[in-house]
Amino acid sequence: MIEKVKGRVIKLGDNIDTDVIYPGRYLPIIDAEEMALHALEGLDPDFPKKIQKGDIIVAGKNFGCGSSREQAATCLKFAGISAVIAKSFSRIFFRNGINQGLPIVVSHEAADMIEDGDEVEIDFTSGKIILKAGETIGFKEFPDFIFSILDAGGLIPYVQKKLATEK
């Protein structure tokens, strides 16, 4: 389980949809590294080049709305995005993020207090976002079941572990 991530903030608005995160024309790609080359391309064709390893997305409400395409979560993870903080997430993106082991944080305050380019740190063990001025924002922990999926590193490893113990 990832305990802490630190990175530069990419600030985005409300309703960042799956067609913007990962345009439908790239759906046939099944290699995650190749998917990453198109992350957020719908916002700006040069966006994928601007992402640096460790970057943290901070967005408004309804992040990941639209399609069920898991590629939207996968492309962000493999592009180097270390976490996504948003006021709220669409439910399918939320599931996909958890299943892919992409850390997801729901925080209303963060989106209002953090600016593009800020350096922030997320401490998952204490449930806190630490801003560059040292201020902290608490966030709600996941229900135990969801936490155990994340703790295992995603849904597949979680199920594998569970099946192994049942045997």
Partner 1 sequence: MGKTIAEKIIAEHCGKDVKPGDIVVAKVDVSMVQDGTGPLSVQELQKMDMESVVNPERTILFLDHASPSPRKELSNAHIILRKFAEKTGAYLSEIGEGVCHQRLVETFVNPGEIVVGADSHTCTAGALGAFATGMGSTDVALAFALGKVWLRVPPTFKFIINGEPKKGVYSKDIILYIIGMIGADGATYKAMEFTGDTVSNCSMESRFVFSNMSVEAGAKAGLIPTDDVTKAYLESRGRGDKYREIHADDDANYEKVFNIDASKIEPLVSLPHKVDNTKPISEAKGIKINQVYIGTCTNGRLEDLSVAASILKGKKRHPRVRLIVVPASREVYLNALKEGFIETFVEAGANVLAPGCGPCVGVHEGALGDGEVVLSTQNRNFKGRMGNPEGFIYLSSPATAAYSAIRGEISDPREVLT
CA dihedral (68, 56, 127, 95) in degrees, to 10, reads 10
* Shortest distance, position 136 Cβ to partner 1, whole Å: 27
CB 67 within 8 A of CB 42: no
* Least CB distance to partner 1 at residue 100 (A): 7
CB of 50 within 8 A of CB of 3? no
Distance between CA 1 and CA 153 in Å, rounded? 6
Applying CB under 8 A, does 92 fall inside the site for partner 1?
A: yes
Q: Rule CB under 8 A: is residue 151 a binding residue for partner 1?
A: no
Least distance (Å) between residue 89 CB and partner 1: 8
DSSP conformational letter for 61: S
Q: Does 67 bind partner 1 (CB under 8 A)?
A: yes
How far, in Å, CA of 90 to CA of 68, rounded?
A: 10
Given 12, 83, 129, 154, the residue binding partner 1 (CB under 8 A): 154
- Residues that bind partner 1 in the complex, under the rule CB under 8 A: 15, 17-20, 23-25, 27-30, 42, 61-62, 65-71, 73-74, 88, 90-92, 95-96, 99-100, 143, 145-146, 154-156, 159-160
